[in-house]
Amino acid sequence: MRLEHIGIAVADAQKAQNLFDRLLGKPVYQEETVDTEKVTTYFYDAGTAKLELLTASEEASVINKFIEKRGEGVHHLAFEVDNINEEIERLKGEGFVFINEKPKPGADNKIVCFLHPKSTNGVLVELCQSVSTS
Judged against a pLDDT cut of 70, whether residue 12 lies above it is answered with: yes
Q: Which CATH class is domain 2-130?
A: alpha beta
- β pairing state of 2-9 and 30-34: unpaired
59's torsion region: left (phi>0), alpha (psi -120 to 50) or beta? alpha
Question: Amino acid identity, residue 100?
Answer: N
Q: Is the whole model's pTM more than 0.85, yes or no?
A: yes
pLDDT mean over 56-65 = 94
Q: For residue 90, how far is the Cα from the chain centroid?
A: 21
Rounded to a whole number of angstroms, the CA Rg of the chain reads: 15
Judged against a pLDDT cut of 60, whether residue 134 lies above it is answered with: no
pLDDT mean over 58-83 = 95
pLDDT tens digits along 21-40: 999 999 999 999 999 889 99
Judged against a pLDDT cut of 60, whether residue 123 lies above it is answered with: yes
Of the pLDDT bands very low, low, confident and very high (cuts 50, 70, 90), residue 59 is: very high
Other beta carbons within 10 Å of 2: 9
pLDDT at 132: 78
Domain chopping of the chain, boundaries = 2-130
What's the mean per-residue pLDDT of the chain?
A: 95
Judged against a pLDDT cut of 80, whether residue 133 lies above it is answered with: no
Share of the chain above pLDDT 90, in %: 95
